[in-house]
Structures are given as structure tokens and as C-alpha cells.
Structure 1
Amino acid sequence: MEGASGDDFEDQSDLQASKKRYHRHTVQQTRQLEMFFKECPHPDEKQRQELGRELGLEPRQVKFWFQNRRTQMKAHHERADNSILRAENENLRTENIALREALKDASCPKCGGQLTPGEMSFTEQQLRIENARLRDELNRVSALVAKYITRSAIPLNILPDFPFDITATGTSDSVAVPSILEVASRPGGVTESEKPVIAELAIVAMEELLLVAAETDGALWSSVDGTKEVLSQEEYFRQFPRGLGPRLMGMETEASRETGLVMMNAAGLIDTIMNVGRWVDMFSNIVSRAFTTQVLTTGVGGNWNNALQLLYAELQILSPLVPTREFFFLRYCKQHSERVWAIVDVSIDGLRDNPAPQLRCRMRPSGFFIEDLQNGYSKVTAVQHIEADHRQTENIYHGLMCSGAAFGAKRWLAILQRQCERLGIMLTNNISARDLGVIPNANGRRSMLFLAQRMTSNYCAGVSASIVHTWTTLSGAGEEDIRVMTRKSVNNPGEPPGIVLSAATSLWVPVNSQRLFEFLRDERLRSEWDILSNGGAVQEIARVATGQDPGCVVSLLRVGALNTSQSNMLILQESCTDASGSLIVYAPVDIPAMNLVMQGGDPATVALLPSGFAISPDGAVSQRTTQEGGGAGGGGGADLAEASSSSSSGALLTVAFQILVSNVPTAKLNLESVATVNSLISSTVQRIKTALGCC
């Protein structure tokens, strides 16, 4: 063999030197990138620079990482679509084989003889039609959901079009009416015969949502006092005769729409709403739990366009007195232009049931109309159209529920705006030392916000009258009934193990909701109602604003012992408020664990049992006063005058505590623990009333 020349060695050396050196990210860098990607999969240049500076990476490296991650997600969706296509193709092949076998034995229907070429029997004709239908089925799965079926002029009524009494428990002594959860959890999914009905309902619902959201001529919506819109039922049923059919007997209509700017682009909003887990996290004040029962289509083009899902959701009011609302519904997402999207939800409770499920509520086409403004913001129109039975509503919540404000469009949009503001602040990295305060860095600030978010979600999940909760009513010291509930905490991340006792009560307070919120969140006034502070001074040692409203803030409080300067307790507290109501949630925290979080450590390691307050404005007190012949909640005329000049100014307050009564999950609850929490919550309510002068 001939030896290589010196020039050859130099060329090889240059070639090796020119090879790219691949950078392997650390575990911490990958974790931070994944966390950011979940919230914002399309960061702009400024965000990439800030993230790269924080993680020690070049902006170009951050850009390539996000590009690769989006490619992985797109490939995942494509693989899922391909598996559906393969299954449908296999079904079509099987049907074609059966069709060919049937054609071999085809005979004349008149004489019974073998058919000659060119003749077509009735059987062959039907088989050809069936074959064409199967081909269309394959095309419908791979193409747009709008191509599932051709439009039909026959009115589409998913539920029976005859009125029936929704208070009945069954159609007869021998037939039990299924629950909404049973219908949604039924194995097997949607059958082939049900897919066209669901697809047609999705198309009809989307058309209705677009018209209802954009209507401006006053035929459908009429303004009341310039602040509230009312839907004309007569005009509605005239324009939309298809869909769910007439209103069911015993149900009342709750219809509303609201438009506003949201601090998130359209792509982020679509990802949040179509991902059921992120949807629950975003709207934890309203959605107590939800899950996807079936994904019919995942969308086309690597995004959510024409995605169609079946979901079960349980919506809540933060009170043990108000039963949750259950819905089994389809969710359909469609991109109407380059910058315009719409997501519609509509109930399908009676699709496969005879008799239909026992209904307390159902959802007519509702959802979001989203227009991307290309500046990081979106213009969102929320529409909520629900029919519900109000006959079992507690008296103090009757005005809130009947007004439609409890689950109305204003509440959904207000929470969305507030949560997007919070998310934007959470993802901000360019923070001055003055804004950080005692928090060492941006990672510590973000970890503190994540911990507060988990604390608030835990509080919301444990205070409602969900069907998974079993509340027991106790007799309180005052006029309010206290509901208690126990649960075992075993291997629950972020919670101490053992027996947890939850106690809650709801009451009407003749005080303006904003005044009540400011009183309860003020650390300087905390000793007036917080029994556990033992009269000690409360000092705010760290705070992070989570929105433009000064009432939206996460605080770390130090509670000092009475007559001493030493601190013996830390409290993490989050307060938030919007047009729909307010929340104040807090929990005692371990000092070493909190120090670790503020250094940027994992907030999932901190065990919390949150307590707090949920406040809703009440604009219907005057109506209730007329019906009952006096004020509610025991407030006198002087107190009402002090709270507000309007006799309808009041607030609905829910007080809830969670206490670990035993660190052994197998232990039994004793009556002493129940009596203690009963006394605690009764005393807290009494102190609040006394401090506000409404005893």
C-alpha cells in the first residue's frame, strides 16, 4: 500500500476540525426548557434570548431545541393519525373481500339463476353502495371532519324532541336512568353509526357559535341597562331549529357572551383549551375535573384544525352547598382563516341512550371565538349557552345561579384573562433586583409561583360539592351549617400522608364583595379573624404580583408569636380577583422547604394543605329580600347602609379549612377532631362578621 502524503493528513485534520460539536443539555436545562415549552411552544426572539441567558445557552441553541421539540410533537400526531388510517384501511379491505365473496354467489331475484355479466342484482347494488360508503369513511378519517358526511336537510335532534320531567329517576320501575358519568365512561367508544351524527352535530354547532358570537343587528341579543345582553329565545329557535331541539321541561336558559383582550396568542390559547389537562389547570375555579373519553380526529397540518374530541367535565361553584354540573360533550376546533379560530362545545348526552340520561343541565353550542392580533394578544369572544334545573339551588345562591353569572361567559373570560396575565408574569425572566426583593433569582420566583398555583388548585378541588365528595352536615354555632369531609392521603404528591379533614361553610354577608376581599387579604388585619395566628403580628416578607390588579399577588408571610420578636410560622398566600369573584388561599409552609423553593428548587416536594376563602358578588339580594320578607344572612339595615348605598350590595363567602388529623392513613377519625374543626370554622366566621360590623 502506498503511504498517504502530508497534504492528505492535513485535509483529514481540517475535516475533523470542521465537524460540529453537538451540545448535550444538562438535566436542569432540559427540565426548564420543557417547562417553558408547555406554556409557550413558539417563543419569540426576546424570550429565546432571556431563556438562553438564564440557562447558559446561545439563543441559536434555544431556537433549534424548540424547533426539534415541535417536530417531535408533529411526528407524534402524525403517527397517531397513521394508526387510525391503517385500522380503517384494514376494515375497508375486509369489507371488500366480503363483498367479492358475496358477488360470486349473486343470483337473479326472479328466477334464482346465475347472473350474467352486465346484469346487477339488488344485492349487488346494495353491496356497491356499501363499498362506496366504506371508501367515504376512510376519506373522512384522513381528511377534514367537515367531510364526514354531506349536509342533511332533516333537523338534527340528539336528544328526544318530546318534553319529559327531568326530576324523574327512571322511565319505569324496571328501567334505571344512567348518569352522565356512566354514559361518558361506557367502554367501546363511539360506534360507526354514531360518528356521522356526531360529525353533523359538530358542524351545526360551529355554524351556530359563529353566528351567535358575531351577531350585531340586535335580533338575537338585546342590551339590558347597557351592561348585560339577553338572548331572545324566540329568535334563537327560529334561526337555529337544528341541534339539540326544544328546551326540556323544568330547565331554565342561561345565555351570555363577552368580548375582551387576552394576553396570549391564538396558538397558545388553542393548545390550552384543546389539551384537557391544561384546560382544567387554567379554569380550576370552574372545572373540578374533566377527562377525554375519545379522540375522533387529532387535526390536520400538525395543529388543532378540525380536531374533534369527546369529553366529560364537571363544573363547580366553590361552595359545598351548590351541586356540580356534569356534561358529556363534543369539542370541535376549526381554523376559519389565517388568524381566526373557533372552539365549540355542545352536549351529546342522549346520543346512545334509551332512555336518555338523567339530566340536570345541558350545553347548547358554547365556546370561544379567537382572533390573533399578532402582538402577543388575542381578541376573544366567549359564548355560554346552558339549560339547567334551578329547583334544587340553595336559597343564598339562587340569585347568582338564576342570573347566569355563576357559569356565564363573563366568568370564563375574566378567569382566562387573569390566568394568562399570571402565566405571562411567570415566564418573565428579565426582572430587576428591586422587583425580586428577598427572592434570589428568577428561578426562585417562578418556583414560588408554581407552588402557589398548585396550592390554589388543591383548594378549588376540595371545596365543591363534587360527586366524588361525600359531605356531612354539622350544626354550626351560628345560623350556617358546616359541611365536613374526610379523605385518605396516600402517595399524593405535595400532600402530607394521613387522614385529612376538610370543613367548609357558605354564607351571605351584607358587605360589598370588594370590601370583603380587601379585608381578608390584608396581612395587617389578619389577627382580627385568624385564630391560628394567636394575635401575633403578621409581616409580608416577599411578594410577587400575578396581574395588573393590585389584589392579584402571591405573598410569603411571617407570623410572629405574641409579645415576642421571633417568628415561628411562615404562610404562603395567594390572592386573586376579577370581575367574576375573588380567592384568598393560604397554607402554612415549612421554613427549610420554602427556602429551597426560593432558591429555585422543585416546588413539588413541598407538602401543603391549603385553606382559604372564595368570594362571589351577589347582585340579586334585593330580589331575595322581596321573596323572603327581609335580608339574608342576619344583617341589619344599618349594616347594609354601611356596606353600600345599594340594598343589593352583598357577597357570597365560602370559608374552608383542611387539617391533617392523623399522619397514619389507616387511622380512624375521632369526634374530637370534628368538634375542633367545627369550632375553628364557626369562630372564624363570627370574627369576620364582628370585624365587618354585620353581626
Structure 2
Amino acid sequence: MVTPAKQFLVGEGSKSAPRFSTNFMEELGQNNSEVPNRDSAGSQYGRGGNGDQDIVSEAAAAKSLGKRKFVDEQQLEELQDSSQKVKKRCMMLPANYESQIDKAPTNYNIEAIVELVRLATEELRVMAVVTEPLWRYCPGADDGSRILDKVTYRKMFPNLVGPTQEGFASEASRETARVKSSPKHLVDILMDVSKWSATFSAIVTKASTIDVLMNPGGATDYDGTLQVMAARYQLSTPHVPYRDTYFARYCKKYSENDWIVVDVSLDKVHQVPVMRCKKRPSGCLIHGLSDGFSQIAWLEHVDAYSEDVSTMYKNLLVSGLGFGAKRWISALDRKCQQMVTNISVKVPLRDYDELVRSSNKKAWQVLLKLAAGMVHSFNLGISGEQWEEVPGHFSDNVRVMIRRIMNDPILPMGAMVSATSSIWLPLSPKSVFDFLHDHNSRSEPLIPYPGREWEVLSSENVIEQMCRIPRGQEARNCVSMHKVLAGNSSQEDIILLQESCSDPVSPYIVYSRLHTEEAMDLILSGGKEYLCILPSGFAVLPDGPATGTEGSGGSLLTLSFQLFVDGSPAFVLPAEGHSRLIDLMNCTIERIKDALEEFSSQEALFASMNEKVIN
């Protein structure tokens, strides 16, 4: 049986294969070569190569074992040469910075770490609940947010991670919320690294538990558990480098309904690699309520390297919104809402060619799995994880990266490119998200797609929503399928899979096109087949603390898309192709700005009309 993934791989019958048109391939400066055939199987979405070193080692291993080679000798030489010349890194990182997340030591002074987490626990208990003079109101903010008084902080607490280093900036924030979950379940999410990274996948791109130093309660009880962890955090933009951090996490139960989970970096008591982020005592206090909810007080307090952060994002980071407590607690609340929704959801499906009509629950489970992988791939594309930056000085605002793939169970062997850009808009995040989320405001996805006209707001196509799977109490938190109706008989209908999230700090919309037959086969099979989904989408951030009822005065919008361009991992994107991608991204940005300007004008008109009616 030929799977959709294999159809995509060999280019037979797959109408949704995300490729450039022939003319566009020529403009990129290379031939539209056929993708080599190979066996494809697997069940984990998005697991793949990590750049040149993986490609070289895997090719050499295949050769030594007498297996079929995936690259010829010339390609192997090119890759070996490329791996020496191209340093894979996230855009904006210092030239001399090398990630240390995988180089954490394993010999510990347990007594020193135990004393450190004891002091950190006491500090967190105080900082999470007291107000003046430690926390004072943020000047100019209308949302009641507070900022840490650093002078008072230094007087009240010992310095557990050392002084703030040159080039580093201190960020502190706290937030409280009620979430629909028990304290024990929340602790399980925070202490299990797999569940933790999945719950906060928009923030955590990589995480591991390096060692468990204490675990008196065994696998079923985290009370007293002390573990050493490493993690990498990201913001949805290429202009803020990812943050690696190495820390201890400790959990303590005060009563059946009262828990604390605290993080603190080990720099002061242990020889650790140089990291971009040091955690001062951070974490959360959890109190169980009688109605099935839990009250959470969350604190984030870090020193982070900031010399290479774009000026456009510094206000966001200093305010504590970028990686702050509000973003973490919003993600946790959303996850808890999703779990409640998953138990009770009934999916309203529109009647369309028997699509998912026969198996409602199975259908939405498959769609949710696909959407989760799609969003994960989107986030990795923005962060640069598993990608390498294309060298050249073509644009300061558009980042073009390439990913070389071999032996991946889902993705075909070859090369993918991604283009990402971030812009400032003079509209609130709510207005930007509302516009992007409303499929009636656009008849085509705003980010163009290869193989079709690069029309952003084409009047020839109409989008119909086929189904919507709620992902929480907020109606716009959902996974949905849309049918893009062909504008003429020469075109075929396309299915649009989309996930949207109206997070108060970092809303996003991510989508990918599927051919109708592929979508039907996949869903009706219950997910036994797998598709290669290359995402496009938007991530919205405020440009600083809220200054009005609609949020801040401006938004930071990131656009990103991924494309499969060639069947050879040794593909080199020429300068002409690089420039062409940048031109297309800039064209898209201008069209989005024009559309948003018209949208905001209509909003202002409606607001003035309503005001007149009220008065």
C-alpha cells in the first residue's frame, strides 16, 4: 500500500506535495530534480536530521554497513566540506557562542544543591505572595501588573546564583490564576519532563532530566523529589535567540492541597557550562480548591543574555512578557482546558464527501495529532532548531534557513527551506489576531503557497469551514478544517488544516494545505497513514505592557513558511533564489499591512457608529 508520505516522497499522485512551481525552481537556480524513492515508515511526527553532521555520519554508516547509499560520493564530499564551513546557529547569536545544553556535568555536590534549593524554596514562598515594597505597580500599565524593586530584593534575599553578569539583563514577573485541575495532576505535569515540554511546547523546544538526586516517594509521589534539568526556551521570532538553561527542580508537599515546585540555576554551587539564561528562584505555589480548581501563583525570575536581542523586542523582554509568568501560566491553563474539552467534545462536522462522517471521535483524534505536529514543526522553524542559516547579507529582517534531511520516517530525503520575518504593526495584538483568524476576511491564506498563484487576497477563491474542534473555553482556541474552493475548473479543491490559539500573551495561527483525497484517506484510516505537513503561519506578541483595554499600542507579528525544494541534501541555495524568497516575503508583508490597514479602518468606523448609537 502506497502511503501518502511515500506518494509525497516519489512525487506520484500527491497533489499537495509542497514544491515550488517549475518557473520558481528555475528562478532558484537549480533543476527541478526528482525526489529519490525510499522506504518510509514511522509514527513520530517531525523527528529528523540535525544538520550536516547527522547527514555525513548517517551516510558513512550506511556505506560501511553495505546498505543502499542515499547520497553519491560527490554529494558526500560536498556535505563534509559544507559541515566544516557552515556553523549552524540561531540568527543573531554571537559568533563565539556555542550551545552548551548537551554538555552538562554529571558529578554533583548533593549537599550544596540541597541547601541551595532549600533557600530557593523559602525565597519563592515570599516573592510569590508579598506586594509592596518588593513588587510595585508598573508605571503606565493599565492591567495592574507589577515590577520587581531590585533594591528591595537585594536587601531581602541572599544572592543564590551570583551577580548579574555583563551583557545579561534581569527579568522578573509573577502571575496568579485559577486552573481546572488538581494539585497532584499539576505537579505531575511539572515534574515529568515529557509532559512539561509538551504542555509548554510553544516555549520549550528542548528539555531533559539529566539526573534525579532525590526521590523518596518513588514514581507515584513527587514530594521531596530533586532533579537536575536542562532546557531550551524560545520566543516566536528569529530576532530573540533561544535560551539554554541548566537548573535544579525541587518539589515539596506541605499538605494534600498545598505544593511548591521551585527551579534555581546551579552556577553558584556547581561548575556548569556557560548558559544564556540563569534562573534565580522561580516556580509556582499550588493550592487546591474545593470546586476542582487550583489556585496558582507563578514566579519567573532570570538573568538572560540580552546584547544580541533586537531593539524591537527589548521592551517586551524587560516587561517580563516574553518569557514571563503570564505566558507560562496561560499555557498551563490552556492545557488544562484542553484536557477537559477532550473528554466531552462532540465535533460539529459539515457533510462533505463522507469526510470523517463515519468516525467522529477517531477523526478529531487524528486531526489533533496532525495539528500538534504541525505547530511543533512551525515553532522549530522559527527557532532555527535543526536548521542552518543560509550565509549571505541580503536582508536584516528576513531569515532564510535550510534543513537537510535523511532517513526521516516522515519527511523525504532532500532539502527544505524556511523563510521567517518579524514586523511591528500599530495595532493591538487582539486586532491583529482577530483579523488573521477570521477566514471570511481572506479568501486565500495570507502566506503564499508554491504551485499556485502568489495572490494574497484572491477574489477567485472562497474558504469554507468544514469542521471545528474546540481546544478550550475560548471559541478561537480550536483546530479546524477548511475547504478552499477552486476559482475555476482547472484547479482542484484543497483542504486547509489550521490550529489557532488566542493566548493573551502569544496568540498564533498555523496552517497547512492537504489534498482532499489525502485528508480523507488519513482521517478515515484512523491515523494509520502519515502525511508530511509543512506549516505556514503567524505568531503575535505585544510590543510591551498593556496600555489600554485592547492591549498594547502595537504588535510584533512573525510570519514563517517552510518549503521542500530539492531531493538532494547537498542542495545549495544560490544568491538569486535567496533574493527571490526575500522579495516574496516582503511582498507578502506589504499585502498584509494593506489588508490590516483596511481592516482597522473598518473597525474604527464600526466603533464610531456604535458610539453614536449609544450616545
User: Taking structure 1 as the reference length, what is the TM-score of the superposition?
Assistant: 0.65
Q: 1:259 to 1:597 in 2, by over 3 A?
A: farther
State the match for 1:206 in structure 2: 121
Q: Return the alpha-carbon distance in structure 1 between the equivalents of residues 231 and 278 of structure 2.
A: 12
Structure 1 segment 128-277 matched on structure 2, within 5 A? 180-181=100-101, 183-184=103-104, 186=105, 189-191=106-108, 194-216=109-131, 218-224=132-138, 227-241=144-158, 243-277=160-194
Match of 1:398?
314
- Cα distance 1:271–1:658, how it changes in 2: closer, same or farther (>3 A)? same
How far the C-alpha of 1:471 sits from its partner, in A, is 5.5
CA contact (8 A) 2:415 2:571 kept: yes
Instruction: Between 342-351 and 522-531, report the one with greater CA deviation.
Output: 522-531
Letter in 2 for 1:201: L
Secondary structure in 2 matching 1:305: coil
State the match for 1:310 in structure 2.
228
Secondary structure class of the residue paired with 1:527: coil
Q: For 1:394 and 1:226, how far apart are their aligned partners in 2?
A: 25
> What's the counterpart of residue 456 of structure 1?
375
In structure 2, what residue type is equivalent to 1:329? Answer: F
Take 2:546 and 2:128, find their aligned partners in 1: how far apart are those partners? 30
Unaligned runs of 5+ in 1: 1-168, 170-175, 623-643
CA distance in 2, matches of 1:276, 1:665: 33
Q: Deviations over 1:454-476 (max 9, x none)?
A: 11111112202559753546535
Question: Match for 1:553 among 457, 460, 478?
Answer: 478
| Shift in alpha-carbon separation, 1:206–1:281, aligned structure 2, 3 A | same
How big is the shift at 1:580? 0.7
- Cα deviation, residue 251, structure 1: 3.4
| Larger Rg computed on CA atoms | 1
Structure 1 residues 514 and 314, CA, compared in 2 at 3 Å: closer, same or farther? same
Structure 1 position 349 matched with structure 2 position 349: no
Aligned residue in 2 for 1:543: 468
Q: 1:466 and 1:453, CA in 2 relative to 1: closer, same or farther beyond 3 A?
A: closer
| In structure 2, C-alpha distance between the alignment counterparts of 1:582 and 1:474, rounded to whole Å | 31
Distance 1:645 1:385, change over 3 A: closer
The answer to whether the Cα contact below 8 Å between 2:511 and 2:536 also exists between their aligned partners in 1 is yes
Say which of 583, 588, 613 aligns to 1:679. 583
Instruction: Report the Cα offset of residue 673 of structure 1.
Output: 4.6
Residue by residue over 1:295-347, the C-alpha shift from the partner in whole angstroms, topping out at 9 and shown as x without a partner, is 21234153111111111111111111111111111111111111111111111
Relative distance call for 1:590 and 1:294 in structure 2 (3 A) is: farther
**SS of residue in 2 equivalent to 1:554:** strand
- The offset of 1:530, in angstroms, is 4.3
CA distance in 1, matches of 2:422, 2:528: 31
- The alpha carbon displacement at 1:653 in A equals 0.7
Structure 2 unaligned residues grouped into runs of 5+: 1-93, 601-615
Q: Deviations over 1:113-149 (max 9, x none)?
A: xxxxxxxxxxxxxxxxxxxxxxxxxxxxxxxxxxxxx
Aligned partners of 2:561, 2:191: CA distance in 1, in Å? 33
Tell me whether 1:289 sits opposite 2:203 in the alignment.
Answer: no
Tell me, yes or no, if structure 1 residue 475 matches structure 2 residue 360. no
Q: Secondary structure at the match of 1:548?
A: coil
**2-structure distance, mates of 1:341, 1:646:** 35
Give the Cα–Cα distance (whole angstroms) in 1 for the partners of residues 165 and 497 of structure 2: 47
CA distance in 1, matches of 2:569, 2:168: 43
From the two aligned structures, give the one with the greater helix fraction: 1
Tell me the equivalent position of 1:563: 488
2:436 corresponds to which residue? 520
1: CA distance, partners of 2:489 / 2:433: 29
Give deviations 1:335-379, integer Å, cap 9, x for gaps: 1111111111111135443xx754543110101211222544221
Which of the numbers 584, 598, 618 marks the counterpart of 2:509?
A: 584
Aligned counterpart, 1:444: 363
Q: Name the count of aligned residue pairs.
A: 489
Secondary structure in structure 2 of the residue aligned to 1:491: coil
2:447–2:537 Cα contact (<8 Å) kept = no
Q: Pairwise mapping of residues 118-129 of structure 1 onto structure 2 (< 5 A)? A: none
Q: Could you tell me how far apart the structure 1 residues matched to 2:363 and 2:236 are? A: 30
Structure 2: distance between partners of 1:474 and 1:422: 43
Q: Which amino acid aligns with 2:484?
A: V
Between stretches 528-537 and 335-344, larger displacement belongs to 528-537
Asked if structure 2 preserves the Cα contact closer than 8 Å seen for 1:451 and 1:603, the reply is no
- SS of the residue 1:556 aligns to: strand
Compare relative contact order (CA 8 Å, sep 6+) and give the higher one, 1 or 2.
Answer: 2
Q: Distance in 2 between matches of 1:278 and 1:293?
A: 16
Q: Secondary structure at the match of 1:684?
A: helix
Please state whether the residue corresponding to 1:475 is helix, strand or coil.
coil
Q: Who is 1:368 aligned against?
A: 284
What is the correspondence of 1:544-693 to structure 2 with a 5 Å cutoff?
544-564=469-489, 567-599=492-524, 601-602=526-527, 605-619=530-544, 649-670=553-574, 673-693=577-597
- For the Cα contact (< 8 Å) 2:347–2:364, is it kept in 1? no
Alpha-carbon distance in 2 for matches of 1:230, 1:436: 52
2-side partners of 1:284 and 1:558: how far apart? 28
For 2:589, the aligned partner's letter is V
Mapped partners of 2:125, 2:179: distance in 1: 19
Task: Report the Cα offset of residue 286 of structure 1.
Answer: 1.0
Q: 2:244 aligns with which of 304, 312, 326?
A: 326
In 1, are the aligned partners of 2:348 and 2:467 still within 8 Å (CA)? Answer: no
Q: 1:363 to 1:425 in 2, by over 3 A?
A: same
Q: In 2, are the aligned partners of 1:560 and 1:569 still within 8 Å (CA)?
A: yes
Match of 1:278 among 195, 215, 227: 195
Residue 413 of structure 1 pairs with residue 332 of structure 2: no
Deviation digits for residues 476-535 of structure 1, max 9, x if unmatched?
Answer: 5xxx62111111223334434421111101111112211111222222233363434642
Percent identical pairs in the alignment equals: 33
Any conservation in 2 of the 1:614–1:655 contact (CA below 8 Å)?
Answer: yes
Tell me the secondary structure at the aligned position of residue 487 of structure 1: strand
Q: Within 2, Cα distance between the matches of 1:487 and 1:177?
A: 21
Deviations 1:390-425 (A, max 9, x none): 332212112111212111101111111112212322
Q: Counterpart of 1:314 in structure 2: which amino acid? A: R
1:531 to 436, 448, 458: 448
C-alpha spacing 1:421/1:177, structure 2 compared with 1 (3 Å): closer
Asked whether the 8 Å contact 2:350–2:467 carries over to 1, the reply is no
> Is the alpha carbon distance of 1:551 and 1:612 closer, same or farther for their aligned partners in structure 2, counting shifts above 3 Å?
same
Distance 2:216 2:387 in 1: 33
The offset of 1:666, in angstroms, is 4.7
C-alpha distance in 2 between matches for 1:617 and 1:598 = 37
Structure 1: how far apart are the matches of 2:349 and 2:361?
12
Aligned residue identity for 1:577: S
Q: Deviations over 1:77-105 (max 9, x none)?
A: xxxxxxxxxxxxxxxxxxxxxxxxxxxxx
Q: CA, structure 1 residues 474+418, in 2 after alignment: closer, same or farther (shift >3 Å)? A: farther
Closer, same or farther: CA 390–518 of 1 in aligned 2, 3 Å: same
Q: CA deviation at 1:561?
A: 2.3
One-letter amino acid of the structure 2 residue matched with residue 490 of structure 1: M
Contact 2:542 2:552 in 1 (8 A): no
Give the 3-state SS of the residue equivalent to 2:377 in structure 1.
helix
TM-score, normalised by the number of residues in structure 2: 0.73
